[in-house]
Amino acid sequence: MRPSGRNLSDMRPISIETGVMRHAEGSCLIACGDTRVLCSASIEDKAPPFLKGSGQGWVTAEYGMLPRATNTRNRREAAAGKQSGRTQEIQRLIGRALRAGVDRRALGERQIVVDCDVIQADGGTRCASITGGWVALRLAVNKLLKAGIITTDPIMDHVAAVSCGVYAGQPVLDLDYAEDSEAGTDGNFIMTGSGRLIEVQMSAEGATFSRPEMNQLMDLAEGGIAELVRAQKEALV
């Protein structure tokens, strides 16, 4: 039995509230169980210098966790004077994931920055950031299209992410903190709405895993991604 009482293939309750930030071109608050992430998308009228003259745009991301997002206070990274390696790795992951669903030439020479701020953490913060970040990105692009600034939709597909792992010897979907902290195998699966893989991160935390176990986790992830994409669509209606 999972600590939450969920079945092996059950997601945590998902909710996505859009338009939660007045000034951002796109924003949402995503909740996956007790994990909550505030996502915003900001449009900048020029692309990074390395893309100057290329006719292509860029999507990037920044990630942070509020001091009391967890059960003990974490010092603000700004106060420490540098970002942790974990933060840098996660925000690069979010940026890569979101770019995979964008036609950067159709975006034109501009940049969209997606900020993901964790206000409460209970496992799966990077996955929630990607799923919610895509909604914020979609809303920002909608504004560009409505204003006629771009004429072709640069977003090619939905992008969402979910965690899977082996907990107490069983493959489970959408790990919360209690499961993630004791999982023998932990994985993050990032996919498009059409089921194409963007990135898979898997590691043996306490025990090695077999190819059949990996396939089981992949099957669970596909079901979870489908649920997340449905939630994205409902939030955007």
CA distance to 65, 148, 164, 226, 231, per residue, from 170 (Å): 30, 51, 11, 21, 26
User: Residue 82 phi/psi, 5° resolution?
Assistant: -160, 155
Does the annotation place 124 within a ligand binding site?
yes
Helices marked H in the chain: 77-80, 85-99, 104-107, 125-146, 177-180, 211-236
The annotation status of 125 as a binding-site residue, yes or no, is yes
* Closest by CA position to 39, among listed 188, 232, 223, 196: 232
86 marked as part of a ligand binding site: yes
- Give, in order, the Cα–Cα distances in Å from 107 to each of 61, 132, 203: 16, 20, 35
Residue ranges for the known binding site for phosphate are 86, 124-126
Residue ranges for the known binding site are 86, 124-126
